[in-house]
């Protein structure tokens, strides 16, 4: 597959390959000069239609460490709606010469639509509520690193929060189940998607009931708009039922870890100062972001997935 | 059609000789380190390192490994699958690094290793030790220490292990 | 080449459709059909006249579409009344009911007259404008229904949206009584479908897209059936899409209520999994549903619960459909592929096909004096000649419509229009539009 658009599309083999490649990139990032010429002469363009400093910088750093050239288009939605269409933007950039697009957009499906308009590789940095494959790669890698194992058979991942609107949840559910983990979703019914019966998950509406049996506690952010939309009556009630506070922290097994994709809503889902959390992998999640994204770009433009992306080179 | 051009004994003797040559040249010089080029040079670097430390235990020569796949110059021509991960756990700055590989051919792998080493620091000097030099250089690279010079043809397959060096001619 | 003469005054040559099989309400029979002066003049074997080949083909009353968006006035870059008429003619249609969500909307006699006149000018099909139920389709106040009815409008709808206010809908039904009009409803409870992009189902869960629950349609179907029960109004349900909707209409008919219903070719043939590709061509209102719904809709056609096949032909310029899935406008083309899809997926005989594509819609539209009639001497010559077994591939660039948003692009369909005759003139001859 010449794109990285979703975890299901990547598949178990692709997942394993990228996680393995990440090890190489971690080593590169430990060097005094953390840079390799692998993608020299290639151009990676970030098309971020949603604000995201952290992810965008993570991708750009990754590209630069592989010696690729980078371009950034931080497009606020309104400017694309006026006049130049998304297709025009993509085609113009393709004409200028691009090897890979890294795209984040609030509408699901954009990476697939963009693939129709360009020959470049497309990396999904988040499409609406749908998928955020590199986040799932970061999270899987971080857990592997923490537990020293390649597979997660016998481990329980508990994801808490606004699953319905979470691309991180969808990608992680796919990735962690490919690696054998048992998955539990915790949310009020209004924050669960309409029909999860066919997902490989168990569902609970009570965090207190399941928290003492989990190996990984994954907290999702709750956006304040959800209150206005009637998904939860108010944020206080949400925090009481689903937030991580001192009492719940004490209920976690001693070797359980806590994760969060960031950014955090302090006082909503996170009622403890994150730096006071023992067994927090949140910093590792951030730290591993660059290595994972290096692996992704390398794989698409130079590695096993690159067969479709190699530029014409005269002999 | 395969020919054994070096036996296991020949390999062992060549390694010992090279170890002496390295130490000779190094006399009174800076710190020494070996870096085996993944994958072909790793076993040889281990063997060479063991030999060095047998002859002169006080030298304490560290052995590292470098995977050059990400430094290759032909990445745009075909997909690259990195091999084992690089491991260099000593300081490269000011060290004389001896790159170790089993077979020296076009020289491109060594060029990639030279570039790769620079990401770990600035070596005092870089030398090259190979078990077999089979000719057909495409870059101005020359080995400092050679086990055996063996002329080959471009299509030949050359395999080098601790058990010996075997050349298989490709059927015409 | 545009003709400005009214289509029913045609030449005086006697033209004969030779070698075909007539299919109308009386059944199937082999016969030649002679047309002269815009009218069928003779039906029988071995007729003489200027011959047109109909051998191996079916001769039927011209198709009538109860539901076409011709986009004029207001969105002429997507389609005009002329290009839409031509697309209709190519699809075998001799009459199209034009939906009123134009700009300005069809809620005044002036706009109705404009649409009719544009249809007459194009001279390719009978363009029958529908009127809005509410002013501006805003759902707040009634449109001048009586005035529009006096100007000849027989069908009223706010299509594009449903009338949300129950009291207003009741008033519209009461007001319409005695005016010999049909109120057609686009059933969608808007508060339940905000932002929806596809059917609420497994797929939308996986894709993380807001869903359009079936109940949003069924609630309004139920409501209008019950309001029709107490007001006695004649109600027609547009583009039904769920199994439960079919059940509700079936029960209403059993109770003897004057209720009719239509279904689109796409709801009979395409399911929600099409949207897994995120291709906006599959985005439509109501959305593509589950295989179970499709089976129920087909059964509804078979047992007569559903009276008509209506295309909901909804052209959109390429640029509009190239937006992200949640922003792209819903709608697909339908006029030129309806027959091919209907014959491909439906397990019904030709008489039933003609019933749902011509006879019933002509009656519901109130134009069965000139369309959907049995083929006999004296009937207006609004006919279609089609090959039921010929397969053909859909090539978007070859469509007569101005737009290209067909979900059947590249697919092979079965059943193709050979000739379309409107008022005695061949608008389509050997598959090619004549003007």
Please tell me the distance from the alpha carbon of residue A164 to that of residue A173, in angstroms, as a whole number: 12
The answer to whether the beta carbons of residues A165 and A129 sit under 8 Å apart is yes
Give the confidence band of B79 by pLDDT, cuts at 50, 70, 90. Answer: confident
- CB neighbours of C320 closer than 8 A, spacing ≥ 6? C78, C328, C329
* Contacts B92 to A, Cβ<8 Å: 32
Residue A74 pLDDT exceeds 80:
no
The C-alpha torsion from C275 through C280 and C281 to C284, rounded to 10°, is 80
Token readout for A77 is 């939605």
Of the candidates C68, C118, C91, which has an alpha carbon nearest to the alpha carbon of residue C315? C68
* Contacts A167 to C, Cβ<8 Å: 208
Query: Taking all residues of chain A, what is their mean pLDDT, rounded to a whole number?
Result: 91
Whether residue A314 is contained in a domain is answered as no
Q: What does residue C308 show for φ and ψ, rounded to 5 degrees?
A: -145, 150
* Contacts A23 to B, Cβ<8 Å: 85
Whether residue A2 is contained in a domain is answered as no
Over its C-alpha atoms, chain B yields an Rg (Å, rounded) of: 16
Residue C2 pLDDT exceeds 50:
no
The confidence score (pLDDT) of residue C7 equals 38
- pLDDT mean over B70-84: 81
Percent of the residues in chain A that have a pLDDT greater than 70, as a whole number: 95
A82–C contact, CB cutoff 8 A: no
Residue C10 pLDDT exceeds 80:
no
Strands C412-422, C383-393: parallel, antiparallel or unpaired by DSSP?
antiparallel
The confidence score (pLDDT) of residue A233 equals 86
* Contacts A298 to B, Cβ<8 Å: 70
- pLDDT mean over A166-181: 97
Whether residue A14 is contained in a domain is answered as yes
Query: 3-state DSSP: chain C helix, strand, coil percent, rounded to 5?
Result: 30, 25, 45
> pTM of this prediction?
0.88
* Residue among A42, A56, A104, A231 flagged as catalytic: A104
The confidence score (pLDDT) of residue B29 equals 64
Residue A104 pLDDT exceeds 50:
yes
The confidence score (pLDDT) of residue A78 equals 46
Which range has the worst mean pLDDT, A41-45, C22-26, C335-339, C343-347? Answer: C343-347
Interface probe for B, chosen from A22, A38, A64, A100 (most Cβ of B below 10 Å), is A38
Using the beta-carbon criterion (under 8 Å), do B82 and A303 form an inter-chain contact?
yes
Nearest to A31 among B77, B78, B119 (CB): B119
Omega within 30 of 0 (cis) for the link into C73: yes
Nearest to B76 among A31, A34, A311 (CB): A311
Tokens 């003797």 label which residue?
B13
Whether residue A152 is contained in a domain is answered as yes
- pLDDT mean over C276-293: 96
Query: Taking all residues of chain C, what is their mean pLDDT, rounded to a whole number?
Result: 94
The confidence score (pLDDT) of residue C342 equals 95
Please tell me the distance from the alpha carbon of residue C181 to that of residue C233, in angstroms, as a whole number: 8
- pLDDT mean over C400-422: 96
For the stretch C75-84, pLDDT in tens is: 999 999 999 9
Percent of the residues in chain C that have a pLDDT greater than 90, as a whole number: 91
- pLDDT mean over B140-169: 93
A185 and A211 inside one domain? yes
C200–A contact, CB cutoff 8 A: yes
The minimum CA-CA distance between B90 and chain A, rounded to whole Å, is 11
A219: enclosing H helix or E strand: strand A216-219
A274 and A154 inside one domain? yes
Identify each DSSP E strand in C38-157 by its residue range: 39-44, 50-53, 58-61, 63-68, 93-98, 126-129, 155-157
Chains that touch A (3 or more CB pairs under 8 A): B, C
Using the beta-carbon criterion (under 8 Å), do A108 and C209 form an inter-chain contact?
yes
For the stretch C102-151, pLDDT in tens is: 999 999 999 999 999 999 999 999 999 999 999 999 999 999 999 999 99
Residue A226 pLDDT exceeds 80:
no
Q: What does residue C277 show for φ and ψ, rounded to 5 degrees?
A: -85, -5
Residue A225 pLDDT exceeds 80:
no
The confidence score (pLDDT) of residue C1 equals 42
Who has greater pLDDT, C313 or A276?
C313
Report the residue of chain C nearest A81, measured CA to CA. Answer: C323
- pLDDT mean over A23-42: 94
- pLDDT mean over A28-45: 94
- pLDDT mean over A273-301: 93
Who has greater pLDDT, C174 or A222?
C174
The fold for domain C61-373 equals TIM Barrel (3.20.20)
The confidence score (pLDDT) of residue B74 equals 78
C15-57+384-433 and C61-373: same fold?
Answer: no
- pLDDT mean over C266-282: 95
Residues 316-375 on C with a CB inside 8 Å of A are 319, 322-327
* Contacts A36 to B, Cβ<8 Å: 70-71, 116, 119
Using the beta-carbon criterion (under 8 Å), do A108 and C322 form an inter-chain contact?
no
The confidence score (pLDDT) of residue A314 equals 36
Nearest to A36 among B87, B92, B119 (CB): B119
B71–A contact, CB cutoff 8 A: yes
Give the confidence band of C247 by pLDDT, cuts at 50, 70, 90. Answer: very high
- pLDDT mean over B49-57: 92
The minimum CA-CA distance between C204 and chain A, rounded to whole Å, is 8
Give the confidence band of C41 by pLDDT, cuts at 50, 70, 90. Answer: very high
Q: Which residues pair with A270 in a beta bridge?
A: A244, A266
How many domains does one find in chain A?
A: 2
Give the confidence band of B26 by pLDDT, cuts at 50, 70, 90. Answer: confident
Interface of A with B (CB under 8 A): 21, 23-24, 27-28, 31-39, 41, 66, 298, 302-307, 310-311, 313
A238 and A178 inside one domain? yes
The confidence score (pLDDT) of residue B77 equals 75
A249-to-A256, A274, A276 alpha-carbon distances in Å: 10, 11, 11
- pLDDT mean over C408-423: 96
* Residue among C312, C320, C387, C425 flagged as catalytic: C312
B111–A contact, CB cutoff 8 A: no
Q: What does residue C208 show for φ and ψ, rounded to 5 degrees?
A: 65, 40
Strands B164-168, C93-98: parallel, antiparallel or unpaired by DSSP?
unpaired
Report the residue of chain A nearest B118, measured CA to CA. Answer: A33
C195–A contact, CB cutoff 8 A: no
A85–C contact, CB cutoff 8 A: yes
The confidence score (pLDDT) of residue A76 equals 63
A47 and A152 inside one domain? no
Please tell me the distance from the alpha carbon of residue A258 to that of residue A235, in angstroms, as a whole number: 21
Using the beta-carbon criterion (under 8 Å), do A304 and B121 form an inter-chain contact?
no
Which range has the worst mean pLDDT, A236-245, C65-74, C108-117? Answer: A236-245
For the stretch C82-113, pLDDT in tens is: 999 999 999 999 999 999 999 999 999 999 99
- pLDDT mean over A195-211: 93
A110–C contact, CB cutoff 8 A: yes
* Contacts A306 to B, Cβ<8 Å: 79
Which range has the worst mean pLDDT, B48-62, C284-298, C372-386, C419-433? Answer: B48-62
The answer to whether the beta carbons of residues C269 and C341 sit under 8 Å apart is yes
- pLDDT mean over B159-167: 94
Whether residue A28 is contained in a domain is answered as yes
Give the confidence band of C3 by pLDDT, cuts at 50, 70, 90. Answer: very low
B15: enclosing H helix or E strand: helix B8-26
* Contacts C409 to A, Cβ<8 Å: none
Please tell me the distance from the alpha carbon of residue A252 to that of residue A156, in angstroms, as a whole number: 12
The confidence score (pLDDT) of residue B1 equals 84
Whether residue A183 is contained in a domain is answered as yes
For the stretch A278-287, pLDDT in tens is: 899 999 999 9
Of the candidates C182, C187, C180, which has an alpha carbon nearest to the alpha carbon of residue C164? C187
Report the residue of chain C nearest A111, measured CA to CA. Answer: C278
The answer to whether the beta carbons of residues C60 and C359 sit under 8 Å apart is no
For the stretch C174-208, pLDDT in tens is: 999 889 999 999 999 999 999 999 999 888 889 99
Whether residue A110 is contained in a domain is answered as yes
The minimum CA-CA distance between A308 and chain B, rounded to whole Å, is 10
- pLDDT mean over A115-119: 94
CATH architecture of the domain with residue range C15-57+384-433: Roll (2.30)
The confidence score (pLDDT) of residue C384 equals 98
- pLDDT mean over C228-251: 98
Residue C6 pLDDT exceeds 50:
no
Residue C213 pLDDT exceeds 80:
yes
B84–A contact, CB cutoff 8 A: no
- pLDDT mean over A12-33: 96
- Measure the CA angle with vertex A266, ends A261 and A268; round to 5°: 95
Active-site residue A147, yes or no? no
Domain boundaries, chain C: 15-57+384-433, 61-373
B89–A contact, CB cutoff 8 A: no
Residue numbers of the domain that contains A15: 7-132+289-308
Please tell me the distance from the alpha carbon of residue C313 to that of residue C318, in angstroms, as a whole number: 15
Nearest to C324 among A105, A129, A195 (CB): A105
- pLDDT mean over C299-322: 96
C238-to-A29, B61, C65, C161, C251 alpha-carbon distances in Å: 62, 85, 12, 11, 17
- Domains in chain B, please, with CATH? 8-69+87-152 (3.40.50.2020)
Q: What is the CATH number of the domain that holds A150?
A: 3.40.50.1370
Interface probe for C, chosen from A9, A105, A108, A199 (most Cβ of C below 10 Å), is A108
- pLDDT mean over C362-387: 97
CB pairs under 8 A between A and B: 62
């Amino acid at each position: 597959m010449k794109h990285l658009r979703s975890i299901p599309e990547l598949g178990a083999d692709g997942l394993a390959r990228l996680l393995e490649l990440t090890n190489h990139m971690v080593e590169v990032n430990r060097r005094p000069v953390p840079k390799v010429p692998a993608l020299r002469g290639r151009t990676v363009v970030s098309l971020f239609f949603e604000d995201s400093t952290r992810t965008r910088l993570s991708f750009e750093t990754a590209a630069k460490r592989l010696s690729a050239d980078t371009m950034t288009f931080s497009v606020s939605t309104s400017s694309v709606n006026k006049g130049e269409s998304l297709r025009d933007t993509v085609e113009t950039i393709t004409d200028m010469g691009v090897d890979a697009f890294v795209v984040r957009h609030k509408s699901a499906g954009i990476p697939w639509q963009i693939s129709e308009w360009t020959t470049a590789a497309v990396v999904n940095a988040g499409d609406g509520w749908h998928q955020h494959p590199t986040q799932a790669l970061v999270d899987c890698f971080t857990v592997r690193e923490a537990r020293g194992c390649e597979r997660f058979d016998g481990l329980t991942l508990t994801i808490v929060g606004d699953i319905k609107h979470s691309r991180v949840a969808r990608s992680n559910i796919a990735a962690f189940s490919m690696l054998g983990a048992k998955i539990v979703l915790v949310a009020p019914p209004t924050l669960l998607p309409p029909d999860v019966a066919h997902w490989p998950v168990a569902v609970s509406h009570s965090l207190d009931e399941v928290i003492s049996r989990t190996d990984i506690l994954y907290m999702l952010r709750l956006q304040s708009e959800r209150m206005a939309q009637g998904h939860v009556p108010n944020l206080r009630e949400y925090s009481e039922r689903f937030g991580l506070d001192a009492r719940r922290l004490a209920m976690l097994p001693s070797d359980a870890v806590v994760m969060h994709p960031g950014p955090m809503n302090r006082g909503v889902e996170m009622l403890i100062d994150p730096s006071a959390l023992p067994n927090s992998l949140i910093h590792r999640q951030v730290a591993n972001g660059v290595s994972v994204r290096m692996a992704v770009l390398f794989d698409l433009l130079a590695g096993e997935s690159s067969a479709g992306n190699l530029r014409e080179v005269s002999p | 059609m395969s020919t054994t051009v070096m036996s296991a004994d020949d390999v062992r003797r060549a390694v010992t000789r090279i170890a002496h040559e390295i130490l000779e040249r190094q006399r009174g010089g800076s710190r020494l380190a070996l870096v085996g080029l993944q994958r072909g040079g790793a076993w040889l670097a281990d063997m060479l390192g063991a030999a060095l430390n047998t002859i002169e235990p006080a030298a304490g020569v560290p052995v590292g490994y470098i995977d050059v796949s990400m430094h290759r110059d032909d990445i745009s021509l075909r997909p690259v699958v990195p091999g084992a991960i690089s491991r260099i756990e000593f300081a490269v700055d000011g060290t004389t690094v001896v790159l170790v590989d089993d077979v020296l051919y076009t020289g491109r792998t060594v060029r990639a290793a030279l570039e790769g080493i620079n990401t770990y620091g600035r070596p005092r000097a870089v030398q090259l030790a190979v078990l077999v030099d089979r000719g057909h250089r495409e870059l101005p690279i020359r080995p400092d220490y050679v086990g055996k010079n063996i002329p080959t043809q471009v299509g030949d397959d050359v395999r080098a292990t601790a058990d010996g060096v075997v050349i298989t001619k490709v059927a015409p | 080449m545009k003709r400005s003469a009214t289509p029913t005054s045609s030449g005086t040559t006697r033209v004969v459709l030779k070698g075909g099989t007539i299919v109308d309400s009386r059944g199937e029979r082999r016969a030649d059909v002679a047309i002269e002066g815009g009218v069928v003049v003779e039906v029988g074997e071995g007729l003489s006249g200027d011959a047109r080949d109909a051998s191996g083909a079916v001769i039927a009353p011209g198709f009538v579409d109860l539901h076409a968006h011709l986009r004029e006035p207001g969105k002429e870059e997507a389609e005009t009344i002329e290009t839409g008429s031509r697309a209709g003619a190519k699809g075998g249609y001799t009459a199209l009911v034009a939906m009123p969500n134009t700009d300005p909307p069809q809620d005044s006699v002036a706009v109705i007259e404009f649409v009719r006149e544009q249809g007459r000018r194009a001279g390719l099909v009978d363009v029958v404008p529908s009127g809005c139920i509410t002013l501006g389709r805003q759902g707040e106040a009634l449109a001048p229904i009586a005035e529009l009815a006096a100007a000849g409008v027989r069908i009223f709808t706010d299509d594009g949206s449903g009338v949300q206010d129950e009291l207003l809908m009741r008033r519209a039904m009461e007001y319409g009584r005695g005016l010999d009009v049909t109120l057609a409803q686009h059933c969608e409870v808007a508060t339940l479908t905000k932002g929806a992009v596809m059917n609420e189902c497994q797929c939308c869960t996986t894709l993380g897209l807001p869903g359009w629950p079936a109940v949003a349609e069924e609630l309004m179907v139920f409501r209008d059936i019950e309001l029709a029960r107490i007001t006695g109004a004649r109600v027609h349900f547009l583009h039904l899409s769920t199994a439960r909707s079919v059940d509700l209409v079936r029960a209403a008919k059993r109770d003897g209520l004057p209720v009719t219903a239509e279904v689109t070719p796409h709801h009979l043939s395409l399911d929600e999994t099409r949207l897994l590709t995120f291709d906006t061509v599959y985005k439509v209102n109501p959305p593509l549903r589950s295989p179970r719904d499709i089976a129920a809709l087909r059964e509804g056609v078979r047992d007569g619960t559903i009276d008509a096949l209506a295309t909901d032909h909804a052209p959109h310029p390429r640029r509009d459909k190239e937006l992200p899935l949640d922003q792209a406008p819903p709608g697909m083309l339908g006029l030129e592929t309806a027959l091919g899809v209907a014959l491909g997926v439906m397990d019904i005989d030709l008489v039933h096909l003609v019933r749902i594509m011509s006879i019933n819609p002509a009656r519901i539209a109130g134009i069965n004096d000139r369309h959907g009639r049995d083929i006999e001497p004296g009937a207006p010559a609004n006919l279609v000649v089609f090959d039921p077994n010929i397969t053909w591939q859909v090539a978007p660039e070859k469509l007569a419509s101005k737009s290209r948003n067909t979900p059947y692009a590249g697919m092979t369909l079965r059943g193709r229009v050979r000739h379309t005759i409107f008022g005695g003139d061949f608008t389509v001859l050997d598959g090619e539009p004549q003007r």
